[in-house]
Chain A
Amino acid sequence: AQTVTQSQPEMSVQEAETVTLSCTYDTSESDYYLFWYKQPPSRQMILVIRQEAYKQQNATENRFSVNFQKAAKSFSLKISDSQLGDAAMYFCAYRSAFLGGSNYKLTFGKGTLLTVNP
């Protein structure tokens, strides 16, 4: 079974600064997807970024980028130019690339609560 570990329960960053959230995972599969989701106080889950394991290039979405290290099974999220609206719980998630039924399910880490200080 796959596991996802987020070792930082809480992090804080000053507005306009950069912060990195850590995530490690364990799997025996060779092909999979990794995601970062954001859950603001409204509790609506919002997809921030995704990475396909077969791609060596790190994914980037505006101020959000990842550092994907497949051999180390590490998938960190970097938030640049942090904004007050980035304050939220961030979850790292894993999904098998094999299609069908329960393979679509996401395995989540425990989350990192990010505080952005003005």
Chain B
Amino acid sequence: GAVVSQHPSWVICKSGTSVKIECRSLDFQATTMFWYRQFPKQSLMLMATSNEGSKATYEQGVEKDKFLINHASLTLSTLTVTSAHPEDSSFYICSATGGGWTQYFGPGTRLLVL
């Protein structure tokens, strides 16, 4: 099946710094990618939808300037958490679709902001 990777799997950073998380579709072209945030023992909360070559569509309540999403190619999307603070600590998951009904998920990235 299709594989989606995320890098890094774990990241610890200091408050005020920016962190970039990469999401790659390894064996298919991802026309649409999604970024989710998940708190412990809670559901996935969709942050934004990104289509290759166009601006991301953010869900209500998600700060566009805080969470920068770039989908520059059909195999790569990045999420940059700018000026990270402890409340941004969470588990971030990306998923990708090539246009069909299937959405393939990455393994997630744990972010800890000190």
Contacts and interface: CB of A to CB of B under 8 A. Distances in A.
Interface string B33-71: 010001001111010010100000100000000000000
Among A42, A43, A97: residue with most chain B CB under 10 A: A43
Interface of A: 33, 42-45, 47, 50, 89, 91, 95, 97, 99, 101-102, 104-106, 108-111, 113
Contacts of B49: 101-102, 104-105
Interface of B: 32, 34, 38, 41-44, 46, 49, 51, 57, 91, 93, 95, 97, 99, 101-103, 105, 107-108
A105 B34 contact: yes
B57 A113 contact: no
Contacts of A113: 41
B43 to A, nearest CB: 5
27 contacts: A33-B101, A42-B107, A43-B38, A43-B91, A43-B93, A43-B107, A44-B107, A45-B95, A50-B101, A91-B43, A95-B101, A95-B103, A101-B49, A101-B51, A101-B57, A102-B49, A104-B32, A104-B34, A104-B49, A104-B103, A106-B44, A106-B95, A106-B103, A108-B43, A108-B44, A110-B42, A113-B41
Nearest to A52: B101
Nearest to B101: A33
